[in-house]
Amino acid sequence: MKSVLLLGDSIRAGYDKSVAASLEGKAGVYFPKENCRFAAYMLRQLHEYKSLVPEGRVDVLHWNAGLWDCLRLFGEEPQTPIEVYKYYIDRLCVRIKKLFPEAKVIFATSTAVQTEKMNPNFIRYNEDTEAYNAAAVEIVKSYGFEVNDLYALSLTLPAEAHSDPVHYYTPLGTHAFTDGVLAYLLPALGIDEAEYKENLHTDKPVGI
């Protein structure tokens, strides 16, 4: 049975369990219990995440990083300046190539937020997200990685798909993102179809 490793921030937590349930019996799906946070943190932990998969054999890696990086606290600049973010995305690509040389790699863009509903001391702007996404996409494509544009998907969803201004922990949001991820995983795994099985994330998100 082929294996999938899902990495990313708390947006990933909104679809990882449903992806695993939908692929049960078809592929093994693995993901860390923790939030992978910002790009620098993921770089530090990447080899640890590989150990989640039996024998470290990963056939498909689907990952994202960005929403923590472009977070603005207390009216300051983004947590990770975009040039530093680009530096870490590039290093992540190098590390991924080293640790997962045989894997199909899919990078997912960061999703849209409802800025108007956020605390001004803890805020994200879609304009920042778009800039960070564009920077990351250019880099990951240069390494031959595929791009799953979850940002574009998030813009198609109604307000009620949100469980809070950042996350989509609702039946509607979970279904949409699970389908969006499966659309890339199935061909990468050589699987024709999978029946959607809902498994909602109910824990309080980390790093909202």
- Alpha-carbon distance 110 to 149, whole Å? 8
pLDDT at residue 133 greater than cutoff 80: yes
Q: What percent of the chain has pLDDT over 90?
A: 98
Strands 104-108 and 146-148: parallel
The band of 206, judged by pLDDT with boundaries at 50, 70 and 90, is confident
97 within some domain = yes
pLDDT at 153: 98
Does residue 202 lie in a domain region? no
Contact 20, 71 (CB under 8 A): no
Confidence of residue 71 (pLDDT cuts 50, 70, 90): very high
Place of tokens 């790093």: 207
Q: Could you tell me if residue 92 is inside a domain?
A: yes
Beta bridge mates, 6: 62
The reply to whether 62 falls in a domain is yes
Q: How far apart are CA 184 and CA 8, in angstroms?
A: 16
Q: Which residue has the tokens 């990351």?
A: 136
Is the pLDDT score of 208 beyond 80? Answer: no
The token pair at 22 is: 């939908």
Tens of pLDDT, residues 81-132: 999 999 999 999 999 999 999 999 999 999 999 999 999 999 999 999 999 9
Q: What is the dihedral of CA 136, 142, 146, 152, to 10 degrees?
A: 40
Spatial neighbors of 94 by CB under 8 A, at least 6 apart, are none
85 with 142: CB under 8 angstroms?
A: no
- CA angle 134-115-11, nearest 5°? 60
Residue 86 lies in a domain: yes
What one-character DSSP code corresponds to residue 125?
-
Residue 140 in domain: yes
- pLDDT at residue number 207: 73
How much is the average pLDDT of 48-59? 97
Check residue 15 and give its pLDDT.
98
- Total domain count, the chain: 1
Region 32-37 average pLDDT: 96
Do residues 79 and 69 touch, judged by C-beta distance below 8 A?
A: yes
**Which CATH number fits the domain that encloses residue 178?**
3.40.50.1110
207 in any annotated domain: no
- Give residue-wise pLDDT tens across range 175-187: 999 999 999 999 9
Does the residue 204 lie in any domain?
A: no
Integer Cα distance of 111 and 88 in angstroms: 19
Residue whose tokens read 């040389």 = 101
Residue 163, domain extent: 2-189
